[in-house]
Structure formats: structure tokens, C-alpha cells
Amino acid sequence: MVAEVGSGVGAAGVVVTARAKINLCLHVVGRRADGYHLLDSLVAFVGAADIVRGERAEALSLDLSGPMAKGLGAGPDNLVLRAAALYGRGARLGLEKHLPVASGIGGGSADAAASLRVMAKLYDLPLPGPEAVLALGADVPVCLAGQSCRMEGIGERLTPVALPQAWVVLVNPGVAVSTPQVFRALASRENPGLGEIPPLPDVGALAGWLAGTRNDLQAAAEALCPQVTEVLAALARQEGCLLARMSGSGATCFGLFSSRATANAAFEALRGSWSWVAATRLRGGPAD
């Protein structure tokens, strides 16, 4: 299970929660001349999160901690520092890493968005413009929005979508999946979009609508990483699982549940078998 942490400003500086995002569905609908793929995706956020802290300093620096920090570098290529550098100010930043790295749930993008919020609060400045944010990564704009959205184009077109109360169980097999390799392995890059998203008043309506959608990256990821197939099967076997699907380019998969009790039961059944498992609430709006 996941203990949620809030954001705020304290005597020691600013603390911002970097929530994981999940692609409830992800359609690849085209490819631009510059090679960027065009997407049509319903994105939601959950309680599982990293934490980014910051306080004013003469220069930019980054301290790493947390169970998933191993292997991360604290150099200028780290997205947290790249985002903070847009402000041209100094800060002593800390990233407490709880989300698996390169796992399809936007951990790095969420951290970058949180870093932008930290800097904006530290120096009482506005957030950067859309072009600067998008240059950090396709998922950074939606992570900065921090609410469930339909995400289109290369990540720049966001339309808020209200989602019902629901629970998800996230499972990562501990195997890295290369996003570029997944896109190269796509069978088709010209697929139908989502169409109109209907009202989704409850989790049953959400699961029913999602059943008619896809993650167009899933088949390619499964071919590259058979553990994704195993995780999906394990989630689908859990009592009360309404839908099992991969998020983003993988390898994290999610199961959708209607109650805390069924999600927690699935968490208990799965947590000893996989590298990272979390049961957490689907957050349906900006104040949720």
C-alpha cells in the first residue's frame, strides 16, 4: 500500500509531491516528419509518488535518496536539475525516489514537474511557458497539470477529464524497457484515436469504456519483455480486477479495482512475487 504525502512550504524550504501518472489508454495515431509520435491518451494520477524538496542556495545541486535512487545520477542531465535550470537560480534540491525508474509511469517527468513547482515557490516566480516545459519531455506538461487529462499531439494538448473514484494496483517486474525500442517495434503508427470520451460516472462505466480502448505500445513491449505478459496475467487473475493493462511504454502494468478492499487484497497476493507493487487511489481531479 502507499502512504500519500502532501506538498507545502516549511521552514526548511519547499516540498512537492511528484505523483505517478498512468496511461489508462494510449493510442498511437501518427508520426510527424521530425520523428515524434502523435498520441491520444487518457492520463490519470495516483497516490504513489516521489518527493522533491528544495531550499534557496547559491548554486544548483541535487541530493538523491529513497529506495529507487540506486543507479540515478545527480549530474546536470538529471531531469530535476534540467527543469530547475530553466529558472537560472540556485537551489539545494533533494529527490526522494520511490517510483521505479524508466517504468512507464512518468517518474522522471513527474520529478521534473515537481522541480519546476519547487523553484517557482522558492522564488515566487511563474511556471515556465509551454514550449520550455515540453522540451523537457512529452509527459512533463501533463505532470505539471497534475490532474486527469486527455493528452494529444506530442503531449502539448491537454483537456481535463473527470474520473470516478477507483483504485489501482501497480506492478513492475523490475526489468527496464527501452521506450525507443518499443516505438521502433510498433506494428502500426497510424491507428484510430479515442473518439469522444463519454461521461464516466463510476468505475464500472470507466472500465467498460476502457475495454474498447488500447495501449498501442503494449504488444511491442510484451514482445521485447515477456515479463509484461506475466504481470498482466497475474493482475487479471485477481478477484475484482476490472481491467489489466500496461502503462506508457512499460514495464509497469496496472489493475483497475472498484474498492480499497479488493485492491489491497490483490496487493497482498502480488507483492512477494514482483520487484515493485503498490495499491493506491486513482486521483480524478486537481483537488482530489
CB 53: neighbour CB atoms within 10 A? 20
Asked about 34 being catalytic, the answer comes back as no
User: From the candidates 40, 50, 139, 216, which is the catalytic residue?
Assistant: 139
CATH number of the domain bearing residue 257: 3.30.70.890
Same domain, yes or no: 13 and 134:
yes
Residues paired with residue 54 on neighbouring β-strands, in sequence order: 14, 93
Phi, psi of 228 (to 5 degrees): -60, -45
Same domain, yes or no: 56 and 148:
yes
| End-of-domain residue from the set 118, 153, 188 | 153
Structural domain harbouring 246: 162-283
Instruction: State how many domains the chain has.
Output: 2
Same domain, yes or no: 146 and 252:
no
Same domain, yes or no: 169 and 227:
yes
Cis peptide before 266 (omega within 30 of 0): no
pTM of the model: 0.93
Same domain, yes or no: 124 and 145:
yes
Domain annotation covers residue 269: yes
Asked about 21 being catalytic, the answer comes back as yes
User: From the candidates 21, 40, 50, 216, which is the catalytic residue?
Assistant: 21
Residue 182 CB partners (closer than 8 Å, separation 6+): 217, 220, 221, 224, 249, 250
Domain annotation covers residue 3: no
Cα 36 to its chain centre, rounded Å, is: 19
Domain annotation covers residue 2: no
Residue 175 CB partners (closer than 8 Å, separation 6+): 225, 227, 251, 275
Task: Tell me the pLDDT of the chain (288 aa) as tens digits.
Answer: 554 444 555 445 999 999 999 999 999 999 999 999 999 999 999 999 999 999 999 999 999 999 999 989 999 999 999 999 999 999 999 999 999 998 999 989 999 999 999 999 999 999 999 999 999 999 999 999 999 999 999 999 999 999 999 999 999 999 988 999 999 999 999 999 999 999 999 999 999 999 999 999 999 999 999 999 999 999 999 999 999 999 999 999 999 999 999 999 999 999 999 999 999 999 865 445
